[in-house]
Amino acid sequence: MNNRTCLQCGKALHGRLDQKFCDAQCRNTHHNQTKRADEQYIAKVNSAIRRNRRILKDLCPEGKAKIRREVLETKGFDYRYFSGIYEAKLKYYLSYDYGFAAIMDNGKEKALIIQKQNYMDDYQINPWVR
């Protein structure tokens, strides 16, 4: 008699004796739910940075664009998460290879969006030097 059941949904298992899940979806769901809290936080932050990058890329098809702040917020941009900073005349908050700088344009809050350039790789951040 086969009394083995899926660890996630409880359905009866058929096949290999060491099988623990009925399909890939149950396996992935189970592992995602049982991840340690710090791993879940890392996944959440990475997901937010990827979403921010996608938003910036969609709004900046030519490599540089200026848009109203509200457009970023309407699309769900999360200002708390970014992968790096590039500082020149302006401070750019990068989401991998796209970034933005907060600017004022004719009294309106806007974002200057850029695509990362190779020369930006040479930028060194030292938080103790001002």
Q: CA 56, CA 77: separation in Å to the nearest integer? A: 9
Task: Please tell me the predicted confidence (pLDDT) of residue 74.
Answer: 98
pLDDT of residue 124: 85
Per-residue H/E/C for 23-69: CHHHHHHHHHHHCCHHHHHHHHHHHHHHHHHHHHHHHCCCCEEEEEH
Domain ranges in the chain? 24-122
- What's the CA gap between 36 and 67, in Å, rounded? 39
Residue 4 reports pLDDT greater than 60: yes
pLDDT digits (tens, 9 = 90+) for 30-43: 988 887 778 888 98
pLDDT of residue 2: 66
Q: Is the pLDDT of residue 1 over 60?
A: no
User: Residues 70-128: pLDDT tens digits?
Assistant: 999 999 999 999 999 999 999 999 999 999 999 999 999 999 999 999 999 888 888 88
pTM score of the predicted model: 0.73
